[in-house]
């Protein structure tokens, strides 16, 4: 059974960097065939697609976040990561990592989510 688990700090100060990791178990990122994704949800609001990455390192980003965002993959650790620079209160959200059924989108496997609050 594929499982994803987000980890990282729950509190980040404004203007600093938010870093999260998604650990994958029950399957190998390097087996290919999937674009592993990050999605976030501000409290009480809707879902926002952040970006996705293939095991080769090819990544796609939400244009509204692209200038501050880096998504990377570490196949040796079977995990992928998100780094968001210069955060503000608007980046406060539950951050989910997810894997699609195949290819991209159609996210079928999700982590439990991690709440990240941006506050001084």
Partner 1 sequence: QSALTQPPSVSGSPGQSVTISCTGTSSDIGTYNRVSWYQQSPGTAPKLMIYEVSNRPSGVPDRFSGSKSGNTASLTISGLQAEDEADYYCCSYTNIDTWVFGGGTKLTVL
Point out which residues bind partner 1 (CB under 8 A).
Answer: 37, 39, 46-49, 52, 60-64, 96, 98, 101, 104-108, 110-113
> In the bound complex, what is the minimum distance in angstroms from residue 81's beta carbon to partner 1?
19
Between 32 and 63, name the residue whose CB sits nearer to partner 1. Answer: 63
Residues 59/51, Cβ–Cβ less than 8 Å:
yes
Q: In what side-by-side order are the strands of the sheet with 69-74?
A: 3-7, 18-25, 79-84, 69-74
> In the bound complex, what is the minimum distance in angstroms from residue 56's beta carbon to partner 1?
15
Rounded CA gap, 92 and 78, in Å?
A: 26
> In the bound complex, what is the minimum distance in angstroms from residue 120's beta carbon to partner 1?
27
């Amino acid at each position: 059974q594929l499982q994803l688990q987000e980890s990282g700090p729950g509190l980040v100060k404004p203007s600093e960097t938010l870093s999260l990791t998604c650990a994958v178990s029950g399957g190998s990122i390097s087996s290919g065939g999937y674009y592993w994704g990050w999605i976030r949800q501000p409290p009480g609001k809707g879902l926002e697609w952040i970006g996705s990455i293939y095991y080769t390192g090819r990544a796609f980003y939400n244009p509204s976040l692209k200038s501050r965002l880096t998504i990377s993959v570490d196949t040796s650790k079977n995990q992928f990561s998100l780094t968001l620079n210069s955060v503000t209160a608007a980046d406060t959200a539950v951050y989910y990592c997810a894997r699609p059924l195949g290819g991209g989108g159609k996210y079928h496997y999700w982590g439990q989510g991690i709440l990240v609050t941006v506050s001084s």
